[in-house]
Amino acid sequence: MKTTQLAFAVAALCLSAAAGAQTVMKISYSTSITSHYGVGSTAFCDEVEKGTQGRYKCQQFPNAALGGEREMIEAVQLGTQDLANVSTGALGNFVPEVKIVDIPFLFRDYAHARKVMDGEFGQDLLKKMTAKGIVGLAWTENGFRHMTNSKRAINQASDANGLKMRTMENKVHMEGYKTFGILPTPMAWPEVFTALQQGTVDGQENPIPVILSAKLSQVQKHLSLTNHVYSPAVLIVAPNIWNKLNDADKKVFSEAAKKGAAAQRKKVNDDEANGIAELKKDGMQVVEQVNGESFRKAVAPAYAQYAKEFGADKIAAIQNVK
Ligand code: PAF
């Protein structure tokens, strides 16, 4: 082969390799592929694949297949995993500014919470992640947390007194739950079903989509719609992926994350609307009208501690968003 022919052959080879180059990114989350996290992640992945003409695609790892949320965040930080869709419950251990959103009874309802997370406060919080080696793309959603247990109906805060409850490894949650008389037992999510089954703990607290997808009705008799904490979630990407994207691809990822977030929130809405009937059918006894005031009254002393840690003005600024 002549030198010019050889040069052409090498160039053609390089071009076709570049055209076909594909990055397969690992994304993980804690619940099933049909759950809110699965629906949000799938919508994000589909949009990324479409928008980059297949140059980027996802391999999904649902059901905490790559570890609990703490491990997922650590792996994204290290770049050994590309993406994760995680709640803020564990993220505050990496990005302390995030902890404020886990304060009990901080948000009134979904409209309030979504407005704050999509507004200036939430967008600033996403930016804070960069300094910790995590790129936050968009706020997805886990949902308002409710209590389940195997012992008794919880109608008011005093009914929770003395229950041993699995909590996230989150000090803000734990400080608040202690004021309800709960004995908080922090535990990673992948261990929770077995702990409930074996009676190591009496109960746990999570949003309806989690209770449904993890089939907690098989191991918990009572559900109380306490709405005691709004649990935001976020799509995060490893800096080593993000930093090699050109501006157009960055835009594709960001827009895809917004679509993923919308799909995830819609699934939360649907589960909130239909899931309670399903859980009742599965045998759960549900307290729908919980005395919320009794919980808010009980948690008031913890707010003094939260104010010291986060600033009363910052807490009020979130509460005052209309
Ligand atoms: O309770 C938890 O650990 C979280 O809510 C979960 C289930 C991992 C979803 O983010």
Tens of pLDDT, residue by residue over 55-107, are 999 999 999 999 999 999 999 999 999 999 999 999 999 999 999 999 999 99
Instruction: Specify the 3-state DSSP secondary structure of 198.
Output: coil
What are the structure tokens assigned to 32, written together?
A: 């099933």
Q: Are strands 135-149 and 222-237 parallel, antiparallel or unpaired?
A: antiparallel
Q: Are strands 203-206 and 135-149 parallel, antiparallel or unpaired?
A: antiparallel
247-281 vs 36-51: helix axis angle to the nearest 10?
160
Confidence category of residue 4, pLDDT binned at 50, 70, 90: low
CA of 6 to the centre of ligand 1 (A): 57
Confidence category of residue 256, pLDDT binned at 50, 70, 90: very high
Report the alpha-carbon distance of residue 177 to residue 309 in Å, rounded.
Answer: 17
Q: What are the C-alpha distances in Å from 174 to residues 190, 204, 207, 229, 248? A: 19, 12, 17, 11, 43
Q: Taking 70 as the threshold, does the pLDDT of residue 174 lie above it?
A: yes
CA of 131 to the centre of ligand 1 (A): 24
Those residues whose C-beta lies under 8 Å from the C-beta of residue 114, and which sit 6 or more positions away, are 139, 141, 265
Pocket-testing residue among 231, 234, 235, 267, ligand 1, by greatest number of atoms within 8 A of Cβ: 231
Complex ipTM more than 0.90, yes or no:
yes
Does the predicted model carry a pTM greater than 0.90?
yes
> Measuring CA to CA, which residue among 279, 149, 146, 147 is closest to residue 201?
149
Q: Taking 80 as the threshold, does the pLDDT of residue 9 lie above it?
A: no
- Mean pLDDT value of segment 115-133: 98
Instruction: For ligand 1, say whether the CB of 189 is within 6 Å of any of its atoms.
Output: yes
- Mean pLDDT value of segment 147-174: 98
Cβ atoms of residues 268 and 207 within 8 Å: yes
Q: Taking 50 as the threshold, does the pLDDT of residue 16 lie above it?
A: no
Q: Are strands 83-87 and 222-237 parallel, antiparallel or unpaired?
A: antiparallel
CA of 277 to the centre of ligand 1 (A): 22
Q: Tell the burial category of 200 from Cβ atoms under 10 Å away from its Cβ (0-12, 13-18, 19+).
A: middle
Cβ atoms of residues 117 and 181 within 8 Å: no
Q: Which atom of ligand 1 is nearest to the CA of 69?
A: 8
For residue 2, the model assigns a pLDDT of: 54
For residue 7, the model assigns a pLDDT of: 53
